[in-house]
């Protein structure tokens, strides 16, 4: 999947308003497609579903992984050079809401909610590891709408599902999850086509599913596992194998000891830059056995500009410890609770783009 490139101007704007911007930029060897990023349709209109998303998933990192990952996957069907995006033009809060017996899509299927996408509370869902009554599988839906000027060109939907259901936290087998997702994706696409006049049968709809990891002992947060592409009467389903791992973790060490060792080396190089300890954690995205993206967060406790500059320069230098070139590396340096610096090394490049708030 193509990874998004954060340009220096965007990075600078995202930092503290009114602060200066110093950058270390360079030419990247990445392809044009890898550098392409979707443009928001301006003026940007926030949807009330943002409240729903935050209420369901507390982790900002996971919410970003879901929507950012949906954008990346969508590039195989909707070109960033041809369309821009809006969010939740159609599926607003009320369309999704299932609290207090509401009749939203996230609710259960019943007589007064025929569009509910979760199994009826009276039905037993076959997980492959046993049948569970009242299983809540689908917990959220993300929506990206692709426009060329005022014309709708397509829609991408991100289904967020639990991997375990019921009081006993029963794991859903992959085959049973796919059966549920085929039915659910088709039902959702048909609902949108019949519910909204703007969405006719010729508007392509891409549906990808992000599976959360519900294990309390898990070192991974989940990832995209399945997708379907709907256009006219055609349906094309694809199995995906994406997963995000916490770094460092025993699961990452077991999966990819080389990358785990390189992270430890980077971590060791950073912790003693300042008299106060500097902490380093991260997340790593894998597609199958291939590392595709690593995000690193460095928390320092600098007292002066000189100290923080030393931290950022050390981080930039020590990124060379990561030898895999097909992976995109993003680093965020925090000084106490303030973002001080962000940097990125694009896939297939050895150069680092960096911007500080100084």
User: What DSSP line would sit under 107-156, residue for residue?
Assistant: SB-BTTBTT--BPPTTSEEE-SS-EEET---EEEEEEEEEEETTEEEEEE
Instruction: State pLDDT tens for residues 244-298.
Output: 999 999 999 999 999 999 999 999 999 989 998 899 999 999 999 999 999 999 9
Which pLDDT score is estimated for 263? 97
Which pLDDT score is estimated for 11? 38
Q: CA dist 311 to 13, 270, 306, 331, 342, Å?
A: 21, 7, 9, 12, 12
Which pLDDT score is estimated for 103? 82
Which pLDDT score is estimated for 217? 72
Which pLDDT score is estimated for 7? 33
Instruction: State pLDDT tens for residues 198-240.
Output: 999 999 999 999 999 987 777 888 999 999 999 999 999 999 9
Distance CA 301, CA 155 (A): 44
The residues of the chain scoring below 70 in pLDDT are 1-35, 101, 358
């Amino acid at each position: 999947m193509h990874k998004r490139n954060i340009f220096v101007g965007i990075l600078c704007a995202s930092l503290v308003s009114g602060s200066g911007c110093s950058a270390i930029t360079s030419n990247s060897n990445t392809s044009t497609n890898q550098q392409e990023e979707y443009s928001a349709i301006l003026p940007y209109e926030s949807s009330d579903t943002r409240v729903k998303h935050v209420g369901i998933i507390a982790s900002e990192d996971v919410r970003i992984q879901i929507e950012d990952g949906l954008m990346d996957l969508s590039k195989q069907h909707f070109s960033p050079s041809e369309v821009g995006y809006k969010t939740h033009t159609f599926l607003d809060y009320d369309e999704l809401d299932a609290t207090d017996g509401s009749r939203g899509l996230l609710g259960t299927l019943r007589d007064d909610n025929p569009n509910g996408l979760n199994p009826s509370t009276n039905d037993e869902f076959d997980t492959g590891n046993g049948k569970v009554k009242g299983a809540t599988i689908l917990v959220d839906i993300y929506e990206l709408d692709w426009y060329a000027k005022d014309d709708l060109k397509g829609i991408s939907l991100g289904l967020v599902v639990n991997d375990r259901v019921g009081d006993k936290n029963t794991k859903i087998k992959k085959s049973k999850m796919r059966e549920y997702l085929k039915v659910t994706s088709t039902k959702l696409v048909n609902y949108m086509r019949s519910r909204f006049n703007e969405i006719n049968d010729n508007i392509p709809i891409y549906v990808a599913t992000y599976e959360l990891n519900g294990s309390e002992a898990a070192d991974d947060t989940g990832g995209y596992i399945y997708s379907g592409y709907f256009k006219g009467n055609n349906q094309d389903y694809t199995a995906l194998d994406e997963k995000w791992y916490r770094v460092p973790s025993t699961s990452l060490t077991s999966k990819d000891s080389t990358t785990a060792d390189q992270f430890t080396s980077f971590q060791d190089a950073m912790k003693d830059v300042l008299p106060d300890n500097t902490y380093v954690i991260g997340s790593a995205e894998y597609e199958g056995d291939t590392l595709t993206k690593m995000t690193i967060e460095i928390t320092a406790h600098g007292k002066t500009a000189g100290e923080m500059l030393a931290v950022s320069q050390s981080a930039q230098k020590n990124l060379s410890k990561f030898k895999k070139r097909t992976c995109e590396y993003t680093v965020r340096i925090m000084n106490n609770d303030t973002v001080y610096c962000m940097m990125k090394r694009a896939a297939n490049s050895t150069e680092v783009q960096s911007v500080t708030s100084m």
